[in-house]
Amino acid sequence: MALTILGLSGAVSHDPSAALYIDGKLVAAAEEERFIRDKHAKGRMPFESARFCLDFAGIKPSDVDAVAIPFAPISLFEKARWHYAKRYWYAPDRGIDAIFAGNRRYHRYRRRIEECLKGLGFDLAKTEIVPVEHHLTHASSAYHCSGFQEKTAILGIDGKGEYATTFFGVGENGKITKIKEFYDPDSLGGLYGAITEYLGFEMLDGEYKVMGMAPYGDPTRYDFSRLAKFENGELIVNTDYANVIGLRRYKEKVKGRNKGYYFSPKLIEWLGPKREGDSADDPYVHYAASMQKLFEDLSLQMMDYYLGDILRETGKLAFAGGGALNVKLNQKIIARPEVKELFVQPASGDAGTAIGAASYVSVQRCVPVEKMEHVYLGPRYTNEQVIAACEAHPNKPQWQKVGAGGTASVPELIAKILADGNPVAWFQGRMEFGPRALGGRSILGCPSVAGVADRINAQIKFRERWRPFCPSMLDTVGPQMLQSDHPAPFMTFTFEVADEWKARVPEVVHEDGTSRAQVLKRDYNPRYYDLMVELEKLTGNGVVLNTSLNRRGEPMICSPTDALNMFFGSDLEYLIMEDVLVRKLPQCSSQAL
């Protein structure tokens, strides 16, 4: 009889998601934000995403053997709650709460999960809910999904879960053994988030913007070492400046209410006023560079201290948690001679804990899980559904079916439109799981066309001008352009671009000469692969500029109606959904159809 495990995330009040394993195969996974159109879906439970998983698999709630959740009660006899109380001595109400009511968040979360399950039709009397410690779920999402058979070092860097912020472990024969954890407020992820707030972005959303800003700055201009240190095997964050709570927080009036930040007035005294607006200017670019360098330096020191022996033995590392989305750190890790291969869970943030919780419980029940080869795990739509959405849309889009009667195929037609200098919204197959668009819900451009990145930024994405764009490329191109054979299917690494390719595809090379790349094998997305083959015929480069199909502040597109709403709310002129081309300009390449 099949073992069916449903994983549900949302334990820390953001990024709820659902994932479904049946006999060790990841059948479906999706983030709640995509369905309810609310980025990060803060404060919500994974109702629509769980319903999608069940419907996609064609199963009923009664078919689910266990529901795994990524949050667990933490014993008073462990270090975590005492560490929290001691380090936050200046907020005694929080410390007392941690000691005497330290599992309150867990019980509140479990009640909300139960309400969600009841709404989905689960009989709670017959439903087993299995709590898994938050950082164990991150560890499982990395190690169990990596496919590594050798002894594997496991690293988790996050804001925090129950109390833990950082995880070091080892995976062997399917079993995860914890080596060491750090606890709140000693959190590199939390520190990076606090500086993200200071730099004018939203914590848990804007960290990648800080990372994108960093190459424009000089990390030697400002010494950020006072913010955190790693000594004698312990990470200590300076709570005079960051990871602060209660009265120590810097506050501002926002819409008539006091808003507290995770940094203190003392940080303002040291660095000056909090950044406002969209510009990336002095001194803030240098602050971003200094924070990025501190994050990299301390992460590598911690990795060496706790995982160095394992890495020198087998060279395998599995990495998850929000910190694993820092692709610049990942570039430094794979450059280390002792690291032979790094697997980064593509949904390393808290959405990925649904996969982690479900995979952990599956393995516990003696059903190993498959290697995670792709992230095309969400909904897909037929041509008929696409056409129905077009017919029902108030903007009455012009559409035409491509490829009928021996005319150009979708890859051939879209490659020509791209080569002519036009961005295209690309909506194909199943929606991606995780934060990266990987050829399911993407906006594409030709990276050899000068100015296409600026055009997408200004007219379509409506985002900061300094933000980089990323390439997807054929697996035949990756080793040449990136000067590396390291697997890169998920855009979780940056690579130094070969000089020749910097000139060939300048629109996808960042300020520091790197690219955050997807190297695609045809098996996992044949139509996207074939598009790049056609583009290579036209331009000589089997590379496409790829960014997520959404506008600033919005979740990635899920449905055809979402895509049409975005299409008519931007300056996009071409949208291809399965075989259906939607266009704004009547003269658009009609002969090629």
Which pLDDT does position 464 carry in this prediction?
74
Q: 510-534: per-residue pLDDT in tens?
A: 999 999 999 999 999 999 999 999 9
Structure tokens at 162: 């129950």
**Whole-Å CA distances, 317 to 155, 295, 309, 539, 586:** 7, 18, 12, 37, 52
Structure tokens at 566: 């975005």
Of 44, 65, 52, 41, give the one whose Cα is nearest residue 19: 52
Q: Which phi-psi region, left, alpha or beta, contains residue 43 (left: φ > 0; alpha: ψ -120 to 50)?
A: left
**What is the CATH number assigned to the segment(s) 188-344?**
3.30.420.40
What's the chain's average pLDDT?
Answer: 95
User: Does residue 302 register a pLDDT over 50?
Assistant: yes
Residue 294 near residue 227, CB atoms below 8 Å: yes
Q: 37-92: per-residue pLDDT in tens?
A: 999 999 999 999 999 999 999 999 999 999 999 999 999 999 999 999 999 999 99
Residue ranges per domain, the chain? 4-144+348-364, 188-344, 383-592
**What is the CATH number assigned to the segment(s) 4-144+348-364?**
3.30.420.40
On the CB side of 138, CA atoms within 13 Å amount to: 32
User: Does residue 587 register a pLDDT over 90?
Assistant: no
Partners of residue 494 on adjacent β-strands: 516
Q: Which range has the worst mean pLDDT, 19-23, 256-260, 294-298? A: 256-260
**Whole-Å CA distances, 513 to 56, 342, 453, 467, 592:** 42, 22, 16, 14, 37
Rounded to an integer, what distance in angstroms lies between the CA atom of residue 427 and that of residue 380? Answer: 9
Rounded to an integer, what distance in angstroms lies between the CA atom of residue 480 and that of residue 519? Answer: 11
φ, ψ for residue 383 (rounded to 5)? -55, -40
User: Does residue 458 register a pLDDT over 90?
Assistant: no
Please spell the DSSP secondary structure of 246-270, one letter per residue: GGGS-EEEETTEEEE-SB-HHHHHH
% of the chain beyond a pLDDT of 90: 92
What's the pTM value of the predicted model, to 2 decimals? Answer: 0.96
pLDDT band at 461 (very low <50, low <70, confident <90, very high): confident
Name the DSSP class of 376. Answer: B
Where do runs of H (alpha helix) occur along 247-403? 265-271, 284-314, 327-334, 353-364, 383-392
3-state helix, strand, coil in the chain (%, to 5): 40, 20, 40
Partners of residue 66 on adjacent β-strands: 5
Residue 163 near residue 152, CB atoms below 8 Å: no
Same fold yes or no, 4-144+348-364 and 188-344: yes
Residue 516 near residue 327, CB atoms below 8 Å: yes
Taking the alpha carbons of 440, 134, 15, 88 in that order, is the dihedral positive or negative? negative
Please spell the DSSP secondary structure of 134-202, one letter per residue: HHHHHHHHHHHHH---S-EEEEEE-S-SSSEEEEEEEEETTEEEEEEEEETT--HHHHHHHHHHHTTS-
Which pLDDT does position 404 carry in this prediction?
74
Which pLDDT does position 591 carry in this prediction?
40
Q: Is 436 helix (H, G, I), strand (E, B) or coil?
A: coil
Amino acid at the residue 323: G
User: Does residue 223 register a pLDDT over 50?
Assistant: yes
Q: 342-374: per-residue pLDDT in tens?
A: 999 999 999 999 999 999 999 999 999 999 999
Residue 44 near residue 16, CB atoms below 8 Å: yes
Which pLDDT does position 460 carry in this prediction?
84
pLDDT band at 593 (very low <50, low <70, confident <90, very high): very low
CATH 3.90.870.20 given to domain 383-592: yes
User: Does residue 401 register a pLDDT over 80?
Assistant: yes
pLDDT band at 592 (very low <50, low <70, confident <90, very high): very low
% of the chain beyond a pLDDT of 70: 98
Q: Which phi-psi region, left, alpha or beta, contains residue 390 (left: φ > 0; alpha: ψ -120 to 50)?
A: alpha
Residue 539 near residue 532, CB atoms below 8 Å: no
